[in-house]
Structure 1
Amino acid sequence: MRAVGEIRRPFAFGRRHANHAPMNIVFVLFDNVTQLDFAGPVQFLSRLPGSTVQIVSKDGKAVTTDCGFSIVPNASFADCRPADIICVPGGHGVRQAVGDAAIVDFVRQQGAQAKWVTSVCTGAFILGVAGLLQDKQATCHWAYTQLLPMVGATHKAARVVRDGNVVTAGGVTSGIDFALELIALIAGEDVARTLQLALEYDPAPPFQGGTPETTSPDVLHNLRARVYDRAAEQMEEALRDSGMVG
Structure 2
Amino acid sequence: MDLVRTPVIRVEASDITPKHNNFLSSEWWLVYLTAALAVFTLGLVIYTARLYRSSVQVGKDAAKTAREAMEFNEASIRPVIVPKIHDVSVLYPAKGSNTFPQGGPKLTFTWENYGQSAAFLLKADLVLRPHRDLPAEPDWSGATLRTDNNIIAPSSYKDDARTPIPLTPVAGTLDETKISQLNMKIDHGLRFFFYGRVVYEDTLGNTLVSGFAFKVFRDGSRHMRGGARYNYRRPATEIDMPVEAETSPLPSGETNAR
Taking structure 2 as the reference length, the TM-score comes to 0.21
Q: When the two structures are superposed, what TM-score results if normalisation uses the length of structure 1? A: 0.22
The structure that is helix-richer by fraction is: 1
More strand by share: 2
Larger Rg computed on CA atoms: 2
